[in-house]
């Protein structure tokens, strides 16, 4: 027991040294952070190393440079929890399905009779047919439009559910397709939010899908949640609609399947347009700011194959008719079609200035959100409040640490000092591990560390108390130390595993700051067991080997 | 000379107080439950939905003036609490303004926050708003469910672990102790009306962990002593085990309390409620592991024949490092 093999010793010291090395950059937080930012700037944005030499030189590159991330409550920033309105996608799908259904059924006019789209609940398409005897044919034809669902779980299912309700064909997305669509919508939304946040270029934003239909967005350093909402809340949905007329107010009566859309620049001007768009922003492959033939700012775009075919057909058949370019429910321009456009590219005019055309191009490139977002939770924490919390946490931790060190020293003398050394190493190891796994430190996390300072001595206390007891039965110091470790072990394991279980549950169930607490608590348990069972023991054994005391007092 | 809060050797009869402890704890538990239903917890926005705005100003706060300014906006239930903290500078005056969740709205509208901020700026031009947090009713409802589930899961997991490592009687004793601790903590939050938010749930789970930590150490010794003194009465063995581990129990509680108290005093007002919950939990947890857990174990009795493993689920595993 008191003979610890050399490789074992090397291993223990190795872990300690490595842990402390990873913890060290946190002592020079500002300097290391500036250096890391400089490195990122050079790698990603192609910054000039010469300009950033000052920052780069602040921290040698051969030393570890990962830092503990500071949570929003410590650094300040904005936190949003958004819910994606996945149902909107069903509606859009039904709208875009209508022209296809219409064309299919028109070809069968002889059998089916006249067709009319009826108002339907959201996410359904209702089509009234003139000749009810043709229903079977009509259903079969519409079912032909469905495709197999593309997803892992929905294999074999069809995308559409088509049924007859009297003279009405009811079309909606199938259950499997809805699930597959939801999933695609979420992946797309997260990606688009990420692209938009990246455009602002703040440090280490968190953008995570949460549950079925939510996105968690945390951006440190941004002024307020409002600002962040403006950035990601814009849908940037671009659509091209045939214009059927003009109106003077938003409340004007619109014929079925048409809608009234306000003009963006001219107050009081409204367009009547068909609800189903001819083209949507998803068909765009690229968008760049440019100028039209009169030298006014515009956005040039390219269409994918489907888009260019549809656009070509439409423009060919509707020369002379106006069509509207609608962005998030406002008409930005409504030109007349002068000639067929078949080369798969075009221009959106109507930008007021270059800044606006550039922004529009960026939003179009980043893509539209497939569905709107509603915000369920928003938090803004000012940087000063965070700085205050860090300062208060630091002072509290230092005072707590010193008080515990003194108390341990008074209670156990020399052995207390050994435990103290282990305690200091322990806190170092927690920071080392936090940096290594890139965990986020929150205010409750700091509380977790302080709590660990108090509880970390527990394992050592158990051992020392046990050694005291064993000494009473006078077996000689070496034997007492040995027995002390042996007998205390099961209590140490049981006590710490139970606490660890609660930390794990906290981590899985909790979010944000609570999770930060769970991480420091959990890591603290691991490191304190390690330091008590290995580090303190090693220190004790080294001391014992040198002194060979005949008597020890714990 | 060593500092010793507990004499090196004690032989106190803890079971002399066991009836008293059970009656006292029972009364406290009932009182807590009554308080919970009669008075209720002072839920923060995490659990109730709504908006919390932290304000800071250089001139002293007149809560009445703030209230008058905000009542004019017609936002329903508003509470304004002044925050005092020893770490604040003389001219730093902080309040927390709580606004209830608005009818029919998931999240607060930017207009409302702007209106509130403008109204308060009218009262005091130096005012700033270091944090604005708002939670919609949907999320807060889910947070309540998750929180309750987390506490139940933790208790369940612990029940199973101790049952595997010891015997079911130990398991029930430990769980009785920690349910006692959790209920008393909720009771004290009802009594003092300290804001109850997500962080307090974290504190509750930590209390579960801590209370257990203490109980398990005592039980570990009980298990050892049951093997050692096969002829002694259970009550005697329990008492002996508590006495033997007493010095450690006190030592660990004191170091933890030292750390927590310094955090309570110096750690700032943002986490004070959280730290308070943990301090209370450590005190109650230490008490319950000595008095409640052991008494329950004593009442339930325990199988004494440790030498022959009977193949039961508990004993196989518990012999691993025996």
A401, closest residue in chain B (CA to CA): B259
Same domain, B87 and B153: no
Q: Would the CB atoms of A224 and B252 count as touching at under 8 Å?
A: no
Element (DSSP H or E) covering residue A147: none
Q: Would the CB atoms of A443 and B158 count as touching at under 8 Å?
A: no
Per residue in A466-492, pLDDT (tens digit) is 898 888 886 788 888 888 898 888 889
Per residue in A520-536, pLDDT (tens digit) is 889 999 999 999 889 99
Same domain, B210 and B70: no
Neighbours of B315 (CB within 10 A): 17
Q: Would the CB atoms of A376 and B270 count as touching at under 8 Å?
A: no
For tokens 């000639």, the residue is A339
Q: Roughly how many angstroms between the first and final C-alpha of chain A, as a whole number?
A: 18
Q: Does the pLDDT at position B221 exceed 60?
A: yes
| Range B147-157 average pLDDT | 87
- How would residue B181 be classed by pLDDT, with cut points 50, 70 and 90? very high
- CA dist., res. A533 & res. A524, Å (int): 14
Same domain, B200 and B286: yes
A509, closest residue in chain B (CA to CA): B150
Per residue in B261-320, pLDDT (tens digit) is 998 998 888 888 889 999 999 999 999 988 999 899 988 888 766 554 444 444 444 444
Per residue in B20-57, pLDDT (tens digit) is 899 999 999 999 999 999 998 888 888 888 889 999 88
Q: B68-92 b/e with 16+ CB inside 10 Å = b?
A: ebbeeeebeebebeebebeeeeeee
CB B201 within 8 A of CB B148: no
For the domain bounded by A234-376, which CATH number is listed? Answer: 3.30.1360.200
- CA dist., res. A275 & res. A258, Å (int): 5
Residue B317 tokens read as 């595993």
Residue A229 Cα, gap to closest chain B Cα (Å) = 10
Please identify, among B134, B169, B203, the residue that sits at the C-terminal boundary of a domain.
B134
Give Cα separations from B69 to A265, B72, B132 (angstroms): 38, 6, 18
Instruction: Please check whether residue B234 lies inside any domain of the structure.
Output: yes
- CA dist., res. B220 & res. B244, Å (int): 11
Name B51's bridge partners: B99, B134
Element (DSSP H or E) covering residue B100: none
Residue B72 Cα, gap to closest chain A Cα (Å) = 24
Nearest to A477 by CA among A528, A535, A414, A533: A414
Question: Does residue A526 sit at the B interface (CB-CB below 8 Å)?
Answer: no
A499, closest residue in chain B (CA to CA): B209
B272-300 and B168-192 helices, crossing angle to 10°: 140
Instruction: Please check whether residue B321 lies inside any domain of the structure.
Output: no
For tokens 């509290």, the residue is A396
DSSP reduced 3-state for A324: strand
Instruction: Please check whether residue B9 lies inside any domain of the structure.
Output: no
**Residue of higher predicted confidence among A204 and B188:** B188
Same domain, B28 and B61: no
For tokens 């339907």, the residue is A120
Smallest Cβ distance to A447: which of B149, B245, B263? B263
Question: Does residue A378 sit at the B interface (CB-CB below 8 Å)?
Answer: yes
Give Cα separations from B288 to A173, A454, B22, B177 (angstroms): 58, 19, 10, 5
Same domain, B91 and B169: no
CB B246 within 8 A of CB B214: no
What is the pLDDT, as a whole number, of residue B307? 52
Same domain, B274 and B181: yes
Give B16: exposed, middle or buried? Use CB within 10 Å, 0-12, 13-18, 19+.
exposed
Question: Does residue A233 sit at the B interface (CB-CB below 8 Å)?
Answer: no
Give Cα separations from A104 to A110, A148, B274 (angstroms): 12, 19, 65
User: Which chain A residues are Cβ-neighbours of B221 within 8 angstroms?
Assistant: 491
- CA dist., res. A23 & res. B72, Å (int): 53
Residue B107 Cα, gap to closest chain A Cα (Å) = 5
- Supply angle C-alpha B51, B57, B63, rounded to 5: 65
Question: Does residue A228 sit at the B interface (CB-CB below 8 Å)?
Answer: no
Q: Does the pLDDT at position B147 exceed 60?
A: yes
Q: Would the CB atoms of A453 and B217 count as touching at under 8 Å?
A: no
- CA dist., res. B55 & res. B45, Å (int): 16
Residue A84 Cα, gap to closest chain B Cα (Å) = 13
Name A323's bridge partners: A242
What is the pLDDT, as a whole number, of residue A4? 81
CB B318 within 8 A of CB B227: no
- CA dist., res. B120 & res. B118, Å (int): 5
A453, closest residue in chain B (CA to CA): B259
- CA dist., res. B177 & res. B208, Å (int): 9
What is the pLDDT, as a whole number, of residue B310? 45
Q: Could you tell me the maximum CA-CA distance found in chain B, to the nearest angstrom?
A: 79
Q: Would the CB atoms of B259 and A403 count as touching at under 8 Å?
A: yes
Same domain, B84 and B55: yes
Query: Residue B260 contacts by C-beta under 8 Å, 6 or more apart in sequence?
Result: A400, A450, A451, A454, B275, B278, B279, B282
User: Which chain A residues are Cβ-neighbours of B58 within 8 angstroms?
Assistant: none
Smallest Cβ distance to B262: which of A396, A413, A462? A396
Q: Can you say whether residue A227 is alpha, beta or left, with left for phi > 0 and alpha for psi between -120 and 50 degrees?
A: alpha
B66: CATH: 3.30.70.2040
Same domain, B109 and B149: no
Nearest to B29 by CA among B218, B177, B202, B193: B177
Query: Residue B13 contacts by C-beta under 8 Å, 6 or more apart in sequence?
Result: B239
Question: Does residue A84 sit at the B interface (CB-CB below 8 Å)?
Answer: no
Smallest Cβ distance to B205: which of A384, A490, A505? A505
**DSSP secondary structure string for all residues of A483-539:** HHHHHHHHHHHHHHHHHHHHHHHHHHH--HHHHHHHHHHHHHHHHHHHIIIIIIHHH
CA B123 to chain centre: 38
Smallest Cβ distance to B2: which of A396, A411, A454? A411
Q: Roughly how many angstroms between the first and final C-alpha of chain B, as a whole number?
A: 35
What is the pLDDT, as a whole number, of residue A154? 58
Percent of all residues in chain B with a pLDDT value above 70, rounded to a whole number = 92
Residue A130 Cα, gap to closest chain B Cα (Å) = 43
Residue A87 Cα, gap to closest chain B Cα (Å) = 17
Same domain, B179 and B291: yes
Same domain, B182 and B71: no
Mean pLDDT, rounded, of chain B: 85
B30: CATH: 1.20.1640.10
Sequence ranges of the domains in chain A = 6-29+382-547, 87-177, 234-376
Domain that holds residue B107: 50-134
Instruction: Please check whether residue B5 lies inside any domain of the structure.
Output: no
ipTM of the modeled complex: 0.83
Residues of chain A falling short of pLDDT 50? none
Per residue in B100-144, pLDDT (tens digit) is 887 766 666 777 888 888 888 888 888 888 888 888 888 888 888
Write out the CATH class of domain A6-29+382-547: mainly alpha
CB B306 within 8 A of CB B222: no
Probe site for chain B from A449, A454, A513 (most B CB atoms < 10 A)? A454
Residue A256 tokens read as 């079925």
Neighbours of A177 (CB within 10 A): 24
Instruction: Please check whether residue B318 lies inside any domain of the structure.
Output: no
Smallest Cβ distance to A392: which of B132, B150, B268? B268
Name A284's bridge partners: A303
Q: Report how many domains make up chain B.
A: 2
DSSP reduced 3-state for A154: coil
Same domain, B150 and B273: yes
Give strand ranges (E) for A133-230.
Answer: 160-165, 168-173, 206-210, 214-220
Residue B286 Cα, gap to closest chain A Cα (Å) = 13
Same domain, B191 and B239: yes
């Amino acid at each position: 027991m008191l003979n610890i093999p050399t490789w074992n010793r090397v291993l223990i010291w190795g872990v300690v040294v490595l842990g402390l090395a990873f913890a060290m950059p946190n002592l020079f937080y500002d300097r290391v952070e500036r250096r890391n930012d400089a490195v990122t700037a050079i790698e990603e944005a192609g910054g000039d190393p010469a300009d950033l030499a000052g920052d780069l030189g602040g921290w040698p590159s051969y030393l570890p440079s990962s830092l503990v991330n500071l949570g929003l409550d410590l650094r300040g920033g904005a936190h949003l929890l958004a819910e994606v309105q996945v149902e909107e996608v069903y509606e859009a799908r039904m709208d875009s399905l209508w022209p296809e259904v219409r064309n299919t059924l028109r070809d069968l006019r002889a059998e089916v009779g006249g067709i009319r789209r009826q108002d339907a609940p959201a996410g359904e398409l209702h089509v009234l047919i003139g000749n009810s005897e043709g229903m079977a044919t009509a259903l079969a034809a519409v079912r032909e439009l469905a495709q197999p669902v593309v997803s892992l779980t929905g294999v074999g299912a069809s995308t559409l559910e088509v049924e007859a309700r009297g003279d009405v064909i009811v079309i909606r997305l199938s259950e499997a397709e809805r699930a597959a669509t939801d999933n695609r919508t979420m992946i797309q939304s997260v990606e688009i939010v990420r692209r938009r946040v990246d455009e602002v270029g703040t440090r280490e934003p968190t953008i995570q899908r949460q549950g079925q239909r939510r996105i968690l967005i945390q951006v440190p350093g941004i002024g307020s949640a409002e600002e962040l909402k403006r950035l990601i809340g814009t849908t940037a949905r671009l659509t091209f609609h045939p214009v059927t007329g003009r109106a003077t107010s938003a409340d004007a009566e619109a014929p079925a399947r048409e809608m009234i859309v306000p003009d963006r620049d001219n107050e009081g001007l409204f367009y009547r347009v068909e609800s189903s768009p001819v083209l949507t922003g998803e068909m765009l492959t690229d968008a760049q700011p440019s100028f039209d033939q009169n030298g006014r700012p515009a956005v040039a775009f390219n269409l994918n194959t489907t888009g260019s075919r549809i656009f070509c057909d439409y423009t060919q058949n509707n020369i002379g008719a106006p069509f509207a370019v609608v962005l998030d429910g406002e008409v930005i321009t409504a030109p007349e079609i002068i000639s067929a456009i078949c080369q798969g590219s075009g221009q959106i005019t109507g930008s007021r200035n270059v800044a606006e055309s550039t922004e529009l191009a960026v939003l179009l490139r980043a893509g539209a959100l497939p569905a709107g977002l509603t915000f369920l939770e928003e938090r803004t924490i000012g940087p000063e409040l965070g700085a205050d919390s860090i300062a208060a946490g630091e002072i509290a931790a230092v005072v707590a640490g010193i008080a515990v060190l003194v108390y341990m020293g008074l209670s156990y003398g020399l052995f207390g000092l050994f435990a103290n050394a282990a305690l200091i190493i322990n806190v170092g190891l927690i920071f080392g591990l936090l940096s290594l796994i890139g965990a986020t430190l929150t205010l409750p996390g700091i509380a977790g560390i302080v709590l660990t300072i108090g509880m970390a001595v527990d394992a050592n206390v158990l051992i020392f108390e046990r050694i005291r007891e064993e000494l009473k039965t006078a077996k000689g110091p070496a034997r007492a130390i040995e027995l002390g470790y042996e007998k205390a072990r099961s209590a140490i394991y049981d006590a710490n595993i139970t606490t660890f279980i609660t930390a794990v549950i906290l981590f899985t169930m909790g979010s944000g700051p609570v999770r930060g607490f769970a991480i420091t608590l959990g890591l603290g348990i691991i490191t304190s067991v390690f330091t008590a069972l290995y580090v303190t023991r090693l220190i004790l054994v080294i001391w014992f080997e040198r002194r060979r005391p005949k008597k020890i007092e714990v | 000379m060593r500092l010793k809060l507990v004499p090196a050797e004690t032989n106190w009869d803890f079971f002399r107080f066991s009836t008293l402890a059970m009656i006292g704890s029972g009364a406290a538990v009932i009182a807590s439950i009554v308080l919970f239903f009669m008075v209720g917890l002072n839920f923060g926005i995490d659990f109730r939905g709504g908006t919390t705005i932290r304000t800071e100003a250089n001139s002293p706060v007149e809560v009445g003036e703030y209230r008058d300014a905000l009542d004019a906006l017609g936002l329903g239930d508003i509470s304004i609490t002044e925050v005092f903290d020893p770490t604040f500078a003389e001219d730093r005056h902080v309040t927390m303004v709580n606004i209830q969740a608005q009818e029919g709205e998931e999240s607060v509208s930017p207009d409302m926050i702007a209106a509130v901020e403008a109204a308060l700026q009218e009262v005091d031009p130096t005012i700033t708003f270091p944090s604005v947090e708002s939670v919609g009713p949907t999320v807060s409802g889910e947070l309540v469910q998750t929180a309750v589930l987390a506490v139940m899961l933790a208790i369940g997991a612990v029940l199973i672990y101790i049952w595997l490592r010891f015997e079911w009687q130990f398991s029930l004793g430990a769980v009785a102790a920690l349910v006692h601790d959790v209920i008393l903590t909720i009771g004290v939050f009802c009594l003092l009306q300290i804001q109850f938010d997500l962080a307090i749930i974290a504190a509750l789970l930590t209390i579960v962990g801590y209370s257990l930590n203490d109980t398990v150490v005592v039980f570990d010794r009980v298990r050892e002593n049951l093997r050692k003194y096969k002829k002694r009465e259970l009550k005697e063995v329990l008492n002996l085990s508590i006495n033997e581990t007493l010095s450690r129990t006190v030592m660990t509680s004191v170091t933890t309390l030292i750390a927590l108290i310094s955090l309570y005093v110096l750690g700032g007002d943002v986490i004070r409620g959280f730290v308070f919950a943990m301090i209370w939990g450590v005190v109650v947890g230490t008490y319950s592991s000595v008095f409640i857990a052991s008494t329950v174990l004593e009442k339930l009795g325990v199988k004494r024949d440790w030498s022959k493993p009977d193949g039961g689920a508990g004993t196989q595993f518990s012999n691993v490092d025996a």
